[in-house]
Structure 1
């Protein structure tokens, strides 16, 4: 047998994409498969053919054609035939590349492997599987390989609607030159996940890809939400923990540490001027997988302001958040809960109030925070707290312990609305 691959390539086979390939699963495209048992690559589709290389279990390969029980596959530096029954088609999952500045793409799951290129933050990548050592096998357009798993984040979905008379062209990458995957009809409801340089990654049923952000409209922007959607019978009850007025250089990191201890996700409604002053804390909130919301620039009562000032309060804060993490906020909370139809008319993201006000800002008593929660919590509750008070951090763990024992799951606001 020809031993042509070094150890890392023997362990993990990387994709060699054909020119003009489409996204996995698209009609007529090459398709990524996982190798489900050790095998060999053959020169011809025959058991007696010349063996070209070994192919290890859990490798990923590209199948370019298949017939009569054989598949023609490609890996880095090698191509040939394998029996079709040693392969399994893999359905990818979309993850957001959250690492500030992006990350390096490698040919194998090792920082010592050959570098393929650089993937930039804010993109949605197709993730096909993982490898030992904290690596994920990913695809973005024609770029495929391994990146560190900790650079990825499960994205938050926002329900939106196509607003383009002739429909929106769906592309493989966030670019006008990206390969066309199809067209989404006007008024189609989609789940949008991230916006990058004027392009938004969306999913609609089995279709997924990038469309122009201007061709989307939010269907939730005129509504105000103070509770989440109840779960179906037999599913875990949910609550959304929310923290206003931060970030705080001192208190917010304490709250993040407690949330991580209980594997709890939360939503942080941030003041723009605090975002600008504490970018590193904002980045940590985002990297820990929490949702970030807009809470205006300096906590003004929007109902009392002229509309030009309202727009400035919201836009300046959204821009500050984008400058910190490369993503715009996904939800909005008006200071003091003060809103009206005029204020909401400018919003492009949902306005969120609350089901339970713990009054932590008023009493500064950790025990009272828990008492308010115990007395009022139910499935779908949105709980209001503030990450600028030390007493809130002091009382948070008891709140998490209580809710955990009551069978609640901790989710973001966007998740609890769905």
Structure 2
């Protein structure tokens, strides 16, 4: 409700009448109210509204000791001693259609703009009724919190000789934030056909997707060396070719018993008959990877066929668990430039091949792990063979006793 302020308070302000369009703000930041304060919205008429602790405002500029701010549809002046800056987190728009941003935390509030699906937005806080205050480019306002989700990070590399320009939004016309040089490893939080949201060289923003390429992870490396806060040696158990109706549930049961996480590289044509098992893998907190549609050797296929193998698997995984796979493993480990060009996720090979698919002997599988395991190992197993399930408890016992933490591939690589 708009109220009329005292002349004493009004005399402190240099009144400027300005637009209240929330969707066309430039050079702004979001602050939170730290103590109750009056927002002066019209000096000549003596109009003001009360802002309470934890209300969010958009700060446009400072004039003397006053800030010019917007609160919902109201723009005016407040004391600069009554706010503090918010460092935003990022979220991914999880809706399939454009997301309407509103000026208030209500479905009937005035629209401030629309944002396309699968884009990253800055999130500054929540409001009553299940709303979050967000920003994308020049659009500020409220969206349902249920339309947002935490993005999954993956590693890629800048692959263009000129590097890549980072922009504030997914648009060539948006302002340039900076440039990241060629061959720089970056963290990717969302990737559409044309644009990706990345972080690298202390810069965050949108880049042209075609200037990124997948990382190929090979060789044995002590990934945790020198990383603070990593209490143990780490290894990643990876399971290929599933899900399997009887073997995979046994694997999940044992992983849960030893509080271990793993990465499952899913073969797409097995999902339809085993959807509940894929959901169980995901719900237990394991990482989901793409292992082609039908275990095809991709290096013998055309570019179009490679893309089909990858896309079909991505889509059926998404349709089953509501998330796309975060990593990729080519069948037989076969990889070339044609295959890499079709991928927008890290390509994960392995450092220990247990040959469980070949010898089908639980004791031999364990022996391969014992003789080769080291910090940062990526261990190849297959959750379609009963003998692999038979070997797993011994493997988990050994690795746990040796002080290894069992994590996903991404946890080792990030």
Identify the match of residue 38 of structure 1 among 25, 36, 39: 36
C-alpha distance in 2 between matches for 1:274 and 1:170: 39
Q: Is the 8 A contact 2:62 2:68 kept in 1?
A: yes
Pick closer, same or farther for the CA change 1:143–1:72 going to 2, 3 Å: closer
Identify the match of residue 160 of structure 2 among 152, 158, 163: 163
C-alpha distance in 2 between matches for 1:270 and 1:308: 20
Per-residue CA deviations over 1:216-252 (Å, capped at 9, x if unaligned) read: 244x33x524566115255233443433223457876
TM-score w.r.t. length of structure 2: 0.70
Larger radius of gyration: 2
C-alpha distance in 1 between matches for 2:122 and 2:53: 21
User: Shift of residue 204 of structure 1?
Assistant: 2.8
CA RMSD of aligned residues (A): 4.9
User: Shift of residue 128 of structure 1?
Assistant: 2.1
Identify the match of residue 147 of structure 1 among 135, 144, 149: 144
Per-residue CA deviations over 1:330-356 (Å, capped at 9, x if unaligned) read: 4332335x4477887767543321447
Pick closer, same or farther for the CA change 1:253–1:30 going to 2, 3 Å: farther
1:26 — aligned with what? Answer: none
1:207 — aligned with what? Answer: 203
Q: Is the 8 A contact 1:241 1:267 kept in 2?
A: yes
Which SS does the other structure have where 2:81 is aligned?
A: helix
C-alpha distance in 2 between matches for 1:151 and 1:100: 11
User: Shift of residue 287 of structure 1?
Assistant: 8.5
User: Shift of residue 65 of structure 1?
Assistant: 0.6
Q: Is the 8 A contact 1:360 1:369 kept in 2?
A: no
User: Are 2:230 and 1:235 equivalent residues in the alignment?
Assistant: yes
C-alpha distance in 2 between matches for 1:383 and 1:173: 39
User: Shift of residue 213 of structure 1?
Assistant: 1.4
1:224 — aligned with what? Answer: 218
Pick closer, same or farther for the CA change 1:187–1:328 going to 2, 3 Å: farther
Q: Is the 8 A contact 2:287 2:408 kept in 1?
A: yes
Pick closer, same or farther for the CA change 1:18–1:151 going to 2, 3 Å: closer
1:9 — aligned with what? Answer: none
Identify the match of residue 66 of structure 2 among 58, 70, 73: 70
C-alpha distance in 1 between matches for 2:148 and 2:127: 14
2:189 — aligned with what? Answer: 193
1:87 — aligned with what? Answer: 83
Pick closer, same or farther for the CA change 1:400–1:139 going to 2, 3 Å: farther
C-alpha distance in 1 between matches for 2:254 and 2:126: 28
Give the number of equivalent residue pairs.
Answer: 387
Q: Is the 8 A contact 1:174 1:196 kept in 2?
A: no
C-alpha distance in 1 between matches for 2:364 and 2:269: 29
User: Are 2:312 and 1:320 equivalent residues in the alignment?
Assistant: yes
C-alpha distance in 2 between matches for 1:396 and 1:388: 13
User: Shift of residue 357 of structure 1?
Assistant: 4.2
Q: Which runs of 5+ in 1 are unaligned?
A: 5-14, 22-28
Identify the match of residue 293 of structure 1 among 285, 289, 294: 289
1:181 — aligned with what? Answer: 176
User: Shift of residue 254 of structure 1?
Assistant: 8.8
Which SS does the other structure have where 2:293 is aligned?
A: coil
Pick closer, same or farther for the CA change 1:403–1:316 going to 2, 3 Å: same
User: Shift of residue 386 of structure 1?
Assistant: 4.2
Q: Which stretch of the first structure deviates more once superposed, 77-86 or 287-296?
A: 287-296
